[in-house]
Chains A and B, each alone.
Chain A
């Protein structure tokens, strides 16, 4: 039985893979069917998974079998129920409180972390002596890093009109930004091709057994 299910699962995967690929020819019912099944399955999977791996061990088990007067558990329970009140139009306003708490908490937790990592950390990383290394390539790289950062940030300085001499770092900044966008695009192409390789490997290896 398990052998049959494995084969059935394999053929289903092949069917859905080819159905999704069929969109490259043109939009068609096979593609639409696969797309909708994927969305539905994902939603159902997440619901079940999160219920059993997050809510049951962290809340329901503790509430119903191991409560021990742990009153703090009632707070997330109440907030969760209030969130669900979005479904009842008359009591919808109550859901704003858990949302506000979530946003406030996230902002509080992240503010310090982002300030340390993204602001102070990145500024410190740019404050370097470019000539500290003996290696010429490293020195050039360091100079480019400093000039690129300053010019890139300057490009987004809009408080004064950038003309004459003030336009020079801005234009340089555009070049640095363009090169960086180009590199990002290159990486994106690589990622997309990797996805294609992954699917083709599945078809050629697991289904057709052409490759080992």
Chain B
């Protein structure tokens, strides 16, 4: 009983210390630099090497539960894309992705107030059916999205005049936190049509998608979690929310390492004592 109570108390102390350790760097940012990984660099290279004024597609396949990790990636990648004068089509395979796209555009347009809706970017809204919808977009975009979110006909949107299928877009960037998401884009767009696919995902999902970044270029780089978002911000020379949050992330990781060390030492000493 007393061991149980002891471990309960220890657990609460750990939670409290972790809470303080995460809160303090948010209040007093440290400004640690982040090294850029190859996976993030590859995604950046794809955006960078796509010709100016190409039409590109951003798919917002996440909802507010993963906002902390994915929204900074979305903002950084949109900003990079706008800086290259690319024209952005936003769609969502998740219902709440539409609002996520609107939020990201609102943030990025503060830096690019001259970008015009319908000319430089458009939000076509949500489409149900995941991989089937992607497959259909490979045949005809206007059939899948007859109108944009506000009801304007596909044919009446100036930037979409030459975009008939997914083959006509420069690259696809899926910001996803599950299914449908990056994997479906690789399966239904990259492999059958050859359109390059890149994207960002939560840290939990990243290991499952990393094998697609391979010699076959099934996926052009991958942004995994807050760390990759901060790396992308570094590449576009922006001190954004991910960069600030990475201080808290790093402190938390250091603390967890210390806790693991203490736990192991404690377990070792207890074992020694019981042997004696």
Q: Which residues of B contact A29 (CB under 8 A)?
A: none
Chain A, Cβ-Cβ closest to B29: A211
Q: Which residues of A contact B118 (CB under 8 A)?
A: none
Q: How many residues of B contact A (CB 8 A)?
A: 46
A24 CB contact (under 8 Å) in B12, B128, B186, B216: B12
Structural contact, B204 and A187, CB atoms closer than 8 A: yes
Nearest CB of A to B107, in Å: 14
Contacts A187-B204, A191-B225; A49 near B218 (Cβ below 8 A): no
Contacts A113-B131, A190-B249; A121 near B68 (Cβ below 8 A): no
Q: Which residues of A contact B27 (CB under 8 A)?
A: 204, 210-211
Contacts A24-B15, A113-B187; A204 near B69 (Cβ below 8 A): no
Cβ of B42 under 8 Å from chain A: no
A54 CB contact (under 8 Å) in B15, B18, B128, B249: B128
- A7-40 contacts to B, CB under 8 A, are 24-26
Structural contact, B95 and A49, CB atoms closer than 8 A: yes
Structural contact, B192 and A116, CB atoms closer than 8 A: yes
CA of A55 to CA of B26 in the docked complex: distance in angstroms?
A: 44
Cβ of A107 under 8 Å from chain B: no
Cβ of B226 under 8 Å from chain A: yes
Nearest CB of A to B131, in Å: 7
The proximity string for A residues 74-114 relative to B, scoring 1 for CB distances below 8 Å and 0 otherwise, is 00000000000000000000000000000000000110011
Cβ of A53 under 8 Å from chain B: yes
Cβ of B109 under 8 Å from chain A: no
Structural contact, A193 and B252, CB atoms closer than 8 A: yes
Nearest CB of A to B240, in Å: 13
Contacts A54-B128, A204-B27; A191 near B203 (Cβ below 8 A): yes
Q: DSSP majority for the B interface?
A: helix
- B70-126 contacts to A, CB under 8 A, are 95, 126
B214 CB contact (under 8 Å) in A122, A187, A210: A122
Q: Which residues of A contact B216 (CB under 8 A)?
A: 121, 124-125
A197 CB contact (under 8 Å) in B15, B22, B224: B22
Nearest CB of B to A137, in Å: 10
Cβ of A3 under 8 Å from chain B: no
Structural contact, B207 and A197, CB atoms closer than 8 A: no
Structural contact, B191 and A196, CB atoms closer than 8 A: no
A117 CB contact (under 8 Å) in B26, B67, B191, B202: B191
Contacts A125-B216, A188-B203, A190-B203; A195 near B23 (Cβ below 8 A): no
CA of A159 to CA of B183 in the docked complex: distance in angstroms?
A: 32
Q: Which residues of B contact A125 (CB under 8 A)?
A: 211, 214-216, 218
Structural contact, A113 and B188, CB atoms closer than 8 A: yes
Q: Which residues of A contact B214 (CB under 8 A)?
A: 121-122, 125-126
Structural contact, B95 and A53, CB atoms closer than 8 A: yes
Chain B, Cβ-Cβ closest to A145: B214
Nearest CB of B to A118, in Å: 8
CA of A53 to CA of B187 in the docked complex: distance in angstroms?
A: 26
Chain B, Cβ-Cβ closest to A210: B27
- B176-203 contacts to A, CB under 8 A, are 183, 186-188, 191-192, 202-203
A190 CB contact (under 8 Å) in B67, B211, B226, B241: B226
Q: Which residues of A contact B241 (CB under 8 A)?
A: 201
Structural contact, B187 and A190, CB atoms closer than 8 A: no
Structural contact, A200 and B23, CB atoms closer than 8 A: yes
The proximity string for A residues 176-212 relative to B, scoring 1 for CB distances below 8 Å and 0 otherwise, is 0000100110011111011111101100100000110
Cβ of A128 under 8 Å from chain B: yes
Structural contact, B26 and A204, CB atoms closer than 8 A: yes
Q: Which residues of A contact B139 (CB under 8 A)?
A: none
B248 CB contact (under 8 Å) in A26, A121, A197: A197
Structural contact, A193 and B253, CB atoms closer than 8 A: yes
Q: Which residues of A contact B192 (CB under 8 A)?
A: 116
Cβ of A50 under 8 Å from chain B: yes
A200 CB contact (under 8 Å) in B26, B128, B224, B225: B26
CA of A24 to CA of B186 in the docked complex: distance in angstroms?
A: 40
A→B interface (CB under 8 Å):
24-26, 46, 49-50, 53-54, 58, 109-110, 113-114, 116-117, 121-122, 124-126, 128, 180, 183-184, 187-191, 193-198, 200-201, 204, 210-211
Can you report 23 A-B residue pairs in the complex whose CB atoms are below 8 A from each other?
Answer: A109-B131, A109-B135, A113-B188, A117-B212, A122-B211, A125-B214, A125-B218, A184-B207, A187-B204, A187-B224, A187-B225, A190-B226, A191-B69, A193-B252, A194-B202, A194-B245, A196-B22, A196-B252, A197-B22, A200-B22, A200-B23, A200-B26, A211-B26
